[in-house]
A and B are shown apart, each in its own frame.
Chain A
Amino acid sequence: MNDRLRAVSGQIIAVAVALLMGAIIILMVGESPVRVFMTLLRGAFGDQAKIAGTLLQTTPILICGVAACVGLRGGMFNVGIEGQLFLGGFAAAWVGFAFPLPAGIHMLAALALAIVAGAAWVAIPAYFRARYNTNEVVSTILSNYVAVLLTSYFTIFLFKRPGGWSETPPILPTAYLPGIFDFSRLNGGLVIGLVLAIGAALVFRYTSWGYGVTMVGSAPKFAEYGGVNVKRQGFLVLLLSGAVGGLAGGVETLGVHHRFMEGFAPGFGFDGLIAALLANGSPVATIFTALFFGALRNGSLLLEVDTGASREIITVIQALIILSVSAQVLVRRRGDSQAGERRWKF
């Protein structure tokens, strides 16, 4: 418990250091840090609708974060969540507008295809990573660019809504994710995200498969001697991570936009990865870090209205948080990680 307490306090101190550095950058940009942070806070939690908006932004970050956690646990950097999100989103929208099905089944079918699309998109990088040890970071990053362009092509050249600009026809209401409040677009996706996060945590904690995955990630040699098929496990981990990434896209189109639009979810995949890193790969902790980043994101919308700062200032703050967490400047014990191989763990 003491260890966990120290880990959490280390993370919090790192976030504080990052916020301090962020304040300096905000000063450089010519704004008042206090005003910017207060605006962020007001934009994120100011009233009922704002809180619902924050939760709405949290949903895709949380699901993408779980996807990243699954990968990180198994020692895999799935940086391609962004691409899986786009393909999953498009796949779900396609089922949603092209195949009229009864309510309920329609939604499930759309989500299922989103999952399949996400997994399929990561399958090739995963295969080469498992079989030939091809660096998965580079291959998944590069496939992001292809995924975004490909979905844009589908949307604009093949399935454009007549009269629309760069969006598909609207999804039939039978495929909508049910809403939670009537004053916000917040929907069942948040529930899916929470269930996924807790489910993933339980799988990692209580099943032998989850234990095997964790061992492959933290001590591959040990796992191999213990009888785990490391290559197969690595492949499955990336596939599963991609599947969850695809689901995130499906949830976003079925729950929020009700159509697929070009650039419908910019940066959620990366935010999810950052949330998972800040949570140190723990799915339950990712719930809180995703909420934090969702709040930043929702707050940044007001930032652009009320102050002169651009909303990308929160991207800067997020990057600073990860940098300072990765260094653990203040709480690192000397000699802690001087020896041994580097891992994703901080």
Chain B
Amino acid sequence: MEILDKLVNVALIAATLRTTAPILLVALGGSFTTKAGIFNIGLEGQMLAGAFFAVLGSIWTGSALLGVACGVAAALAFALVFAVLVVSFRANEVVVGLALNILAGGMTISLMKAIFGTRGSIVGQGIVGLPKVQLPGARDLLGSWASLISGFTPMVYVAFIAVPLLVLFYNRTRLGLYIRVVGEKPEAAEALGISITRVRYTASLLCGLLAGLAGAHLSLGYITMFTENMSSGRGFMAVAILIFSNGDPLKVLAGCLLFGFADAFSLRLQTFGYPSYLVLTVPYVVALTALFALSYRARPRIIMETLASMQKLLSVDKNPGPDGKHPS
């Protein structure tokens, strides 16, 4: 029990929230493209580009905020290329996404070598990290639980606040509705006169925005450094989450919390002396298990939906139509 106490405590929950933030941001970004009917495997690359250029911007300008802006701009550029190729040229989404990921990996390493003359990582060099936000009064109000709501870097708050905002966005705004229509029934969108191209471009760019923030959080948040391929598959985990959550913000949040917990827990296990290589596989294994388990569970739903639609057809057959004639 003592070990369990050491493993699971307030610090672990706080760590979970911290590790959830980047994957939540990138997954919420991907929810735009998922809802708009684009399979975006390029999240990983957008995030990596965001992380690198955030560090670069922070060094050049000496300001963390402008660094974040640079990171977002880079991710937006990747998202724009993705949109141009996928939406306008109708290239294959998977091919373009994978190629952009590879491009991001190669480009960041090449630029790192060209600008800093080093391989591996950028540490120090005057990188300005994001400050931690101490909410006033949190400590008086909650005591030792204060670390659950206070003392995070700004992106953590942005990530969690974005969830309800996205729910509102999809249900209460015109653009959110358009994105959903374009994803679910492009024919209907076309008939309504909605420009599918424009909506998909918008969704891709919104996705790039959040992916850039996620990348900036990686390199300017809790650790202020950039390392080769530092997104280490988080973008792909986000895609896994998007597949089984169908891009619904609340389900995305649930999935991301699961991964954040797996991440934080595996870090914790590492300090207990378990072999790091095995411990590091935990988040990926969790992602794979969730993906497989939920696709297994989705099977009855598909059958039920088929049955329901068949019943509907049959009942239409039995009832005479509104004008009194039998439809068949």
Contacts and interface: CB of A to CB of B under 8 A. Distances in A.
A139 B288 contact: yes
A306 B132 CA distance: 45
B195 interface: no
Contacts of A13: none
A309 B109 CA distance: 10
Interface in A117-168: 124, 128, 132-135, 137-139, 141-143, 145-146, 149-150, 152-153, 156-157
10 contacts: A29-B114, A135-B39, A146-B288, A308-B114, A312-B105, A318-B106, A319-B100, A326-B89, A326-B96, A344-B92
B49 to A, nearest CB: 12
Contacts of B298: 132
Contact of A277 (B41, B95, B277, B284): B95
Given A25-B110, A150-B278, A319-B100, 5 more contacts: A128-B291, A273-B98, A274-B102, A319-B102, A329-B89
Interface string A253-268: 0000000000000000
A104 B94 CA distance: 41
Interface stretch (B135-143, B206-214, B235-243): B235-243
B107 A25 contact: yes
Interface of B: 39, 41, 81, 85, 89-96, 98-100, 102-103, 105-107, 109-114, 119, 232-233, 236-237, 239-240, 243, 275, 277-278, 280-281, 284-285, 287-288, 291-292, 295-296, 298-299
Contacts of B107: 25, 312, 316
In the A-B complex, the 6 residue pairs with the smallest Cβ-Cβ separation, listed nearest first, are A315-B106, A319-B103, A310-B113, A153-B277, A326-B91, A134-B295
Contacts of B109: 310, 312, 315
Nearest to A271: B102
Contact of B89 (A142, A152, A274, A327): A327
A227 to B, nearest CB: 23
Nearest to B243: A135
A30 B114 contact: yes
A124 B284 contact: no
Contacts of B243: 134-135, 138
Interface stretch (A3-11, A41-49, A206-214, A335-343): A335-343
B233 A132 contact: no
B289 to A, nearest CB: 10
B281 A146 contact: yes
A149 B277 contact: yes
A345 B233 CA distance: 26
Tell me the interface secondary structure of chain A in the complex. helix
A135 B113 CA distance: 36
B209 to A, nearest CB: 22
Nearest to B112: A310
Contacts of A25: 107, 110
A128 B102 contact: no
A343 B85 CA distance: 14
Given A30-B114, A309-B113, A313-B110, A343 B291 contact: no
A71 B109 CA distance: 30
A310 B114 contact: yes
A48 B248 CA distance: 58
B66 to A, nearest CB: 21
Contacts of A315: 102-103, 105-106, 109-110
Nearest to B85: A327
B98 A138 contact: no
B23 to A, nearest CB: 13
B110 A142 contact: no
A79 interface: yes
A157 B277 contact: yes
A274 B95 CA distance: 9
A346 B99 CA distance: 14
